Structure 1
């Protein structure tokens, strides 16, 4: 009778204690193991060299010494591995003790009784190996929690579908091992839980959302059917979070065949990379590879050219706005990012299979080892059907052999003799070792000195041509820049490769621009991707990491169609997940590309899925409704706010820049006083950030940290961050203060989406300041 009086909450609290006791047992066991292994490893390191026999008196002793070292290294590595495993287990159990699970479902399979399932960030299994106290959120049965409300339900298993009835769906908020909140829900995820999570302050890094995943997000996370997944999501709809949970799911689902180094995520900027870096470790997974598209360009072209980045391009276009030069540059940016230009380059590459590849001659000082004509003859002497990669690799081997033969021919030349006379003692010692290794320096040998002299001369010659060998191995004999320039230098060639037989508007300006920039060893951002594509195609995409199985692209609406097609070629075997919001397409290269710049056309419709996330969870309802008013009505129609109330956005008129800085400084102090931990002061361009920081530091107390965020920044600090609009993408702040949203700054059509992007960074507070006339894109209500 006593048990009947126990409330559901008391029952859950008792159950929580049982689970925490299990976690505690495992914790004590792992800590003891960790302590033993730590002492073991430290002691082993101290004794390492005592146990190794060091003897280099002859080759036999050297071999035994090497064998002894390797045995000790392998033993140490094994012990350190077990130490790492124990450390990771303790870390995981510590998180489980804080919050072991967040949901419960009661599910009855057809023909069976109900089973009680608790769901958490990671599984917890009893010592018997059979009792599941907590199921991992990625387990197949856990999808019932995200996809269904009580009633008939089913979940996928590897060989089909398991049907039954969902009897109960309950959510928890557990912090510090204590049950704070508990809700029975009939919706996907209870509004109360979402309210609690979304009302929390922003952190300087993104949080895991496994407790609040919605049904539509769960579909993205668990999709295994499609090779191309395109996600259009409103600002704050959780698309990036869903992508990261998808990475965690894939690593769990295919843990036998997929590792984090086989997944790559392209982030919009270094700040964002740091911002999301904690999500996967919080879920118990190692981070996948992360890079920006800029880093890809730098790795390929940065050693030879000073390559403009996307942010510098944006600043340059803003500075030249309204001038003939600025208009010509903008046309060039739009065209070189287009599908039309990609097809033109593809057709140009087809022609190059037969003729026209430009090569650099191989020269040493004034001597020619292999002329450009000879290299071309070798290249085109190989069947075109073998492909660029095979032909280039064959020529590479031929050139390396040509260099070796040339070195042989130079051993007796005067320049080698002179250089050999200047070698230092270390080179002489190397020559001595080489000769001795070949069996020299016996009493009966009369030519040992001659052997040493020849070896010295050969080493001198080989060292002299070492840079040439390195260049050949890196395929530098292919002149990709000359090949690219040739396309623009010949009007008839360009027209014949163009899909419509026409030259683009401003073609002559583009030609002159290429001549000017490349002549100065600089490169415009819009030329970098086409040049990379030509270069890598000529080499057969030899550097492509073929083991990459999944590629994720965030802020995909900012990539040009050319860049999208290039990534598809670079990772031909990978499945693609691209996420973005065409209402936040802020860069010239992608503004006219029709939403996702050609992403949806990369693969056939049968293997492509286009999904939409329309509910905005980041901002309060007032902020979402206000920012919808910035967009064109047809673009805003599908955006739905989550029901979380807050204060209305405020628009503040200021007499001049000084007064604007003064008012923002006062409001920053107010925000800090209200407990907001992250405040973003967002300017339109990087040029304005320096002025903003100076004005704010003048007016704020010294103890208030004001940080200027630049394109090279890797993490977001607490306190006040001042940053340009394009670095705010994907990031959120408790309060956003928009610096000078005047008609002069945000008055053009192309500024509309930029202003929308800036304002939608706000979680709780949005304040907009301006001088002169306010931007006509801002709704007339709101302060």
Structure 2
């Protein structure tokens, strides 16, 4: 650690160099408290026209107050930049606070999780997302970006206890690895996932700051920080394009509720409180899911070809007219011949617009044909007359026959229940065996009585979009994307047709029968074929020995994929033990609970009841995935099927062979094992009685 010199804000005490930084921290906290008090003191009683506006404004003020909360255990700033020359501070769209100031005020900038300014509006802490903060993540000895000194701070329980300097403009000082950065990356963690603003690496920052207009797909192995990168990209986009995304909305999609609970505090800690979180099942919840599909049926239902089957089935309801439409108005009768109505119908079909939109347009088109006849006869009808004709009973009756309404759920119910109906619309798309695979053995009588599966709900969502366009959001983050089916990708893509997406995943961790084979295919199904694919290969979370052991499986589960290279200085703790029963597994858990941090016991789903009973007998309390660990209860019992996306300081992995055998085929089982092996941050103990899978040998 070097002694700071030539501080642009004034000389530091060489005996106690932290004193000035601690004083700045205290002043920043006081300034943030004043900012919050200013908002709390706002009187809106005389500034709103009605109660609706008052409610909206009050809600916005409440969100602002929450965003200005000072979390005692979360440092207000984690770094500092000393510029060689005063930088210009750009104000991003919708970002509050940053604005040009006199040159001296910007010689030194403290970088933190949010913007803090004093009573005069001068910044005391600069938001990490501001353009002027970017050198904190990207500056180097080779490319200092105008930075003389980069300082990192170390905290203990919210108190500033250490600092570390890099003199980027000093050629005499050799480049070195930041000890504080390593300590922050390797720090034990209890509770939900935390942000990584203090440790974002240059390759991660490039993805985080990529523009709103483009879709980015991130292939990242275990521990490369892809989930954190995706969440921080949302935070950055909300900063840079706040007004636009406030109108269009943002959404984070995760694989399950446990995962969403684990990540739910990251964005609020960065001051972003309005981002919705959901699973794909939440998005397509048009019916109650009470059934399950076998793997073969789920694969066919998840195939993108089902979209064409559904499109055919929906538009099969359109029939060409056989009779003229006769509209009576007063003493006159206006006749639109069948051939003219047919021309209108064919023109609407050719436009390839939504079924429902075309159905709404049809009566207006027929009414327009009537108005043309009126004008030819010397009348001068206006738009009110056209609307009245469109509502005429004869027109409405004709539309009902020609272009009847379609209920998406009833349509899918018929496709899965009626072999003849399915055969007609799947002809040339699905073969006979595939059609038999998805047909229900016991057809349901109604939508409510049907035992819908998760894949059926996605089909209904597709049909619903054929009938009426799904509203689009401004940006969607899709995590653990490798497990989605093509039809699920389409369901997500419908939510960002006019927006962009961040797709996160690892092809080696795909554990569904329909797992993604390539990101190019996934982006095509998402409707974002022009998306950019980035790869993260530097591992920040998984220790070297652990990731090296797990990577033995890569040639068998994802040939050609680049193994993760751990950059942690601490090699971590790794051991393989033989055991004769659950007692040794419990003993391993007790051993790891003697360390600081969280412990996860991961096992094949079928072994969870036995291990739960063994832990209870030993007097050890454990949590289920999604429940928040505390300093008192730090052990989580995790079924292997729910381990994806979670992480623990220490992991005990029970019976790898059982994890593999718990899946329908060996390849999927080995991928599930790869996931389970890579959940540890500091140490892993593999306990087994049965022989280990051969792919782990050697």
Residue of 1, 8, 31 corresponding to 1:26: 31
Are positions 1:735 and 2:655 aligned together? no
Partner of 1:493: 424
Residue of 244, 255, 260 corresponding to 2:242: 255
Partner of 1:757: 675
Residue of 154, 164, 173 corresponding to 1:182: 164
Q: Give the Cα separation in 1 of the matches to 2:251 and 2:40.
A: 36
Change (3 A) 1:36 1:563: closer
Q: Give the Cα separation in 2 of the matches to 1:395 and 1:495.
A: 28
Partner of 2:112: 120
Residue of 632, 654, 677 corresponding to 2:555: 632
2:510–2:668 CA contact under 8 A, matched in 1: no
Change (3 A) 1:486 1:349: farther
**Residues 117-159 of structure 1, C-alpha deviation per residue, up to 9 Å, x if partnerless?**
3211112323322x333211100121122223135466xxxxx
Q: Where do 5+ consecutive residues of structure 2 fail to align?
A: 89-102, 169-173, 321-341, 365-404
Map 1:177-256 onto structure 2 (within 5 A). 177-184=159-166, 190-224=177-211, 226-256=213-243
Q: How far does residue 637 in structure 1 lie from its aligned partner after superposition?
A: 3.7
Partner of 1:468: none
Q: CA RMSD in A?
A: 4.2
Residue of 506, 522, 541 corresponding to 2:451: 522
Change (3 A) 1:570 1:595: closer
**Residues 615-657 of structure 1, C-alpha deviation per residue, up to 9 Å, x if partnerless?**
11111111111111122174454421113324442222233xx
Number of residue equivalences: 600
Partner of 2:694: 776
SS in 2 for 1:170: strand
Partner of 1:585: 510
Q: Give the Cα separation in 1 of the matches to 2:591 and 2:31.
A: 47
Partner of 1:553: 478
Change (3 A) 1:396 1:594: farther
2:652–2:686 CA contact under 8 A, matched in 1: yes
**Residues 213-247 of structure 1, C-alpha deviation per residue, up to 9 Å, x if partnerless?**
01111111111165321110111110110111111
Q: Give the Cα separation in 2 of the matches to 1:107 and 1:345.
A: 63
Map 1:188-587 onto structure 2 (within 5 A). 190-224=177-211, 226-259=213-246, 262-297=249-284, 299-302=285-288, 306-308=290-292, 329-346=294-311, 349=314, 383-384=348-349, 385=351, 387-391=354-358, 476=407, 479-485=410-416, 488-490=419-421, 493-494=424-425, 496-498=427-429, 503=431, 505-513=433-441, 515=443, 521-538=450-467, 540-541=468-469, 544-546=470-472, 548-587=473-512
Partner of 1:706: 622
Q: How far does residue 510 in structure 1 lie from its aligned partner after superposition?
A: 2.8
Change (3 A) 1:203 1:17: closer
**Residues 486-516 of structure 1, C-alpha deviation per residue, up to 9 Å, x if partnerless?**
7853575245452xxx616443233354747
**Residues 665-697 of structure 1, C-alpha deviation per residue, up to 9 Å, x if partnerless?**
111111112233x21111222x43222211221
Partner of 2:603: 683
Are positions 1:13 and 2:18 aligned together? yes
Structure 2-normalised TM-score?
A: 0.75
1:738–1:759 CA contact under 8 A, matched in 2: yes
Partner of 1:146: 137
Q: Give the Cα separation in 1 of the matches to 2:694 and 2:615.
A: 27
1:102–1:173 CA contact under 8 A, matched in 2: no
SS in 2 for 1:210: coil
Partner of 1:324: none
Partner of 2:381: none
Are positions 1:613 and 2:529 aligned together? no
Q: Give the Cα separation in 1 of the matches to 2:667 and 2:458.
A: 27
Are positions 1:598 and 2:598 aligned together? no
Partner of 1:695: 614
SS in 2 for 1:628: helix
Q: Give the Cα separation in 1 of the matches to 2:55 and 2:455.
A: 50
Partner of 2:589: 668
1:306–1:522 CA contact under 8 A, matched in 2: yes
Partner of 2:100: none
Q: Give the Cα separation in 2 of the matches to 1:189 and 1:578.
A: 33
Structure with larger Rg: 1
Q: How far does residue 72 in structure 1 lie from its aligned partner after superposition?
A: 8.8
Q: How far does residue 26 in structure 1 lie from its aligned partner after superposition?
A: 2.4
Change (3 A) 1:28 1:492: closer
Change (3 A) 1:260 1:287: farther
Change (3 A) 1:615 1:697: same
SS in 2 for 1:339: coil
Partner of 1:623: 546
Q: Give the Cα separation in 2 of the matches to 1:778 and 1:518.
A: 50
Per residue, is there more helix in 1 or in 2?
1
Partner of 1:171: 152
Residue of 639, 644, 659 corresponding to 2:569: 644
Q: Give the Cα separation in 1 of the matches to 2:31 and 2:520.
A: 49
Q: Give the Cα separation in 2 of the matches to 1:488 and 1:188.
A: 70
Q: How far does residue 728 in structure 1 lie from its aligned partner after superposition?
A: 1.3
Partner of 1:134: 125
1:188–1:215 CA contact under 8 A, matched in 2: no
Q: Where do 5+ consecutive residues of structure 1 fail to align?
A: 45-66, 155-164, 314-328, 356-376, 398-473
**Residues 370-389 of structure 1, C-alpha deviation per residue, up to 9 Å, x if partnerless?**
xxxxxxx9x97994346412
Q: Give the Cα separation in 1 of the matches to 2:49 and 2:119.
A: 37
